[in-house]
Chains A and B, each alone.
Chain A
Amino acid sequence: MVLKGIKRGEMVLEARGITKRFPGVVANDQINFEIKAGEIHAILGENGAGKTTLMNILFGLLQPDEGEIYIRGERVRFRSPLDAINMGIGMVHQHRKLVAAHSAIENIILGHPRAGNILNLKSAEQEVLALAERYGFKVDLKAKVWQLSEGEKQAVEILKALYRGAEVLILDEPTSALTPQETEKLLESIETMARDELAVVPFITHKLPIVLAISHRVTVLRRGKVVACMETAQTTEKDLAMQMVGREVIFRIERADVEKGKPVLQVENLSALNDKDFQALNGVSFSICEGEIFGIAGISGNGQQELVEVLAGLRNAQGGKVILDGKDITHASTLERWQRQIGYIPSDRIHVGSIGDFSLVENTALSHYYDDQFSRRGILNYDALRKLTEEVISEYGVAAPGPETKAKNLSGGNLQKLILARVLSRNPRLVIANLPCQGLDIGATEFVQNKLIEAKKEKAGVLLISEDLDEILSLSDWVAAIYEGKFMGILPAGEAQKENVGAMMAGLQLKGYEL
């Protein structure tokens, strides 16, 4: 192993002048980066700043157009991830790169040079368990990955990198899918690793407090360039945010007080099964009034997706009722729900919320083709649809050459704007927003959040699902914490805090909030 015998403080990985171009954009522009053994050096930048590209280059998934990488002083060139792995670089991705159908241990030994021809899982298990103990990870190695929690899955990925002999660990948005408690445990593990002379690079979007809490140094990327590199001790959250975005950042959205009206949505004891026939939703009840934003906080996989799908008519309810404006729509078709003024912004904007090969007009039509206004006797009025599309494009600021552009050519933020425009142009009574700001940069995030508040001002009821606790807390009038298909508590905005909601998200039943 090339990296053994490195002393604390020695330069382990250095990247100089890394440049990478894609058609139309320079993703990385002369980036310099270095990390020493035993150091935790965070990289900050919003979506689109070039973090992912840089990460992929450091890991050998991409080749830089210019620039060099040095490991312990020696120039190296990664032609594939295998080269990087052999040089001791381990990567843990934001979206789990694990084979869901295989067990944890099978994932860990996948591709390992010492795995031998016939699988010997037992001896590997013992070695991995030793590693896990050392760094404070608790995982059932025999379990199938799809059965594990997000935190456990991440532990498996980290163990996989460590078992392969990684001495530089690159973590992509490591805390985005974790509860506050899991986050703490992870940070502890990272600190242990640093003490063990591993070098750790956490790539983080906007969890600035974590950066400040744990890293020794931080590098900030903006629009593909390095704009700052400093000792963490010498900077502040506000400072870092400004470097990241280039201007003053407002941390808290104004919640806006709106007079509540009558209930728009009433959900009574709703249950549902997930795709694998397990109980995903376990008797959930709540109601949303006009002019309210109801936020559901929770880690993905605790029933939110199923809840949203049942409300949209895309999944059958196993039991319970859904009542919209006083009418029982539990068994209504999806089309009927849209016609009754429910608007749904799905979490998957690429595969569900839009059709990439359709033009913007055709995409807008997804929400309007069944309207008498746009279709008479089976014929679609494309002219009217085009006009509507042009209107919403300008109203929502969707950056596109024209309404006939194909949706797949839009950036993530613009696509989300289009979907929002499409859904909100029907003036829905109930807006269901499922992870609406996922993967968007700060500008687009602000826009989306403001639009939701606007909808609230228009007396719609808004159901907001988000993994970002801060977002939920700043936007919602009511906060519910979901865990394993049940609400652990429903709190008004005034009482909801990171601590209590975070605890409920992790499954703790707090006194006084029993439902």
Chain B
Amino acid sequence: MWLFLISSLDASMIFTFAGLGELINQRSGVINVGIEGIMLFGGTMGFLAAQSTGNLLLGFLVAIAVGGLLGLLHGFVSITLGVDQVVSGMGIWILGFGMTTYIGSPYAGPLGMERIPTILGISPFFYLGIVLVVITWFVLSKTNLGLRIRSVGENPSVAEVSGINVFKTRYSCVIIGGMLMGLAGAIYTLDYNPVWGYNFIMGWGFIALALVFFSMWNPLILLAGSILFGNLWQLSLNPQLVLPGILSRYIWRTVPFAITLVALVLMSTKWFRTRWGAARPEALGQPYLKE
């Protein structure tokens, strides 16, 4: 049972980091539907780096760097080139999906390295995750920087005439977001389930996207949602803990995805919609075009 909880928390942190990255993106008005691609790339390159050098830390750093680069790419295509953000995100996803399948295939298999030391039995990323969530929440709601980011996400032309560089702000957010997403991918391949298999992230990137919507752009709610989801995921892998013997394990694997669907539908009900609509960064998804 304890093992179950630990694994759940580990899984939760992956959702948390990826979701946090996307939350920061979206607060500045940029949506990235290709979270999955960045996670795949970060996880793959991190895995490669760690396995070939024997250095786990290097693996994580590489993942962060790769994630940042992909975030930069997404930013370049959608902010500077002005391509539709959803199209660009799709491109990042398929790029990640396609390239990592090729790049990672010779490394398929277990990582074969020592696990990361745990603190109080729980992975250190758990603590890091909580710290980052709190920092993000604080920065966004209580600091000047946060006000600027939020203004860029609500109404970029207003921010511009107030003297804020919209492009710079959005680029920064997209790069930081990408770094977090790359890190999330690496947590998967280097800590949570240290085996490389193609498309290992199995839809988590999209679930993270749904979680960001569900959290109404509040990092604290995001954390709660991620923990909930991590538990759900672990449950689907180990249904015998709760409902032994009922239903094939394959059906259980569909549960997290089905629950995401249900959550999305719930989000569109009246109660949710008005609050959600109010919290939504108004300029989300719209390119900022200087006329």
Query: Do A's and B's CB atoms come within 8 Å in the complex?
Result: yes
A119 to chain B, nearest CB (A): 6
Given contacts A111-B148, A119-B144, contact A101 B278 (CB under 8 A): yes
Known: A85-B163, A110-B151, A276-B274. A119 touches B142 (CB 8 A): yes
Is B224 located at the chain interface by the 8 A CB criterion? no
B151 lies within 8 A of A99 (CB) = yes
Pick the most buried of B157, B161, B277, B278: most chain A CB atoms within 10 A of its CB.
Answer: B161
Interface majority SS (helix, strand, loop, mixed), chain B = helix
Asked whether any CB of chain A lies closer than 8 Å to the CB of B159, the reply is: yes
Contact with A along B270-291 (1 / 0, CB 8 A): 0000100110001000000001
Interface size on A, residues (CB 8 A): 29
A98 within 8 A of B: yes
Given A110-B164, A111-B162, A277-B274, A97 and B151 touching (CB < 8 A)? no
Give the residues from 143 to 176 in chain B that come closer than 8 angstroms, CB to CB, to chain A.
143-145, 147-148, 150-151, 154-155, 157-165
- Which residues from chain A contact B162 at a C-beta distance below 8 Å? 81, 85, 110-111, 160
Cross-chain contact A111 with B164 (CB below 8 angstroms):
yes
Query: What residues of B have a CB within 8 angstroms of the CB of A142 in the complex?
Result: none
Q: Are B143 and A97 in contact (CB under 8 A)?
A: no
Q: What CA separation (Å) do A115 and B151 show in the bound complex?
A: 15
Q: Which residues of B contact A80 (CB under 8 A)?
A: 160, 163, 165
The minimal Cβ–Cβ distance linking A54 to chain B, given in whole angstroms, is 15
In the bound assembly, the distance between CA atoms of A444 and B214 in angstroms comes to 47
- CB proximity to B under 8 Å, residues A287-326: none
**Most-contacted residue by chain A among B147, B160, B291 (CB, 10 A):** B147
B252 to chain A, nearest CB (A): 40
Find A118's partner among B142, B159, B161, B164 (CB 8 Å cutoff).
Answer: B142
In the bound complex, CA of A82 to CA of B165 (Å): 9
Known: A100-B155, A110-B151. A115 touches B144 (CB 8 A): yes
Give Cα A97 to B155, complex, Å: 8
Given known A-B contacts A106-B147, A119-B142, A111 and B163 have beta carbons under 8 A apart:
yes
Question: Hey, which chain A residues are within 8 Å of B160, CB to CB?
Answer: 61, 80-81
A59 at the interface (CB under 8 A from B): yes
Complex Cα distance A116/B142, Å? Answer: 11
Residue on B nearest A59 in the bound complex, by CB: B161
CB of A117 closer than 8 Å to a CB of B: yes
Other contacts beyond A80-B160, A106-B147, A118-B142: 11, CB < 8 A:
A59-B161, A61-B161, A80-B163, A80-B165, A81-B162, A102-B154, A110-B147, A110-B159, A115-B144, A116-B144, A119-B147
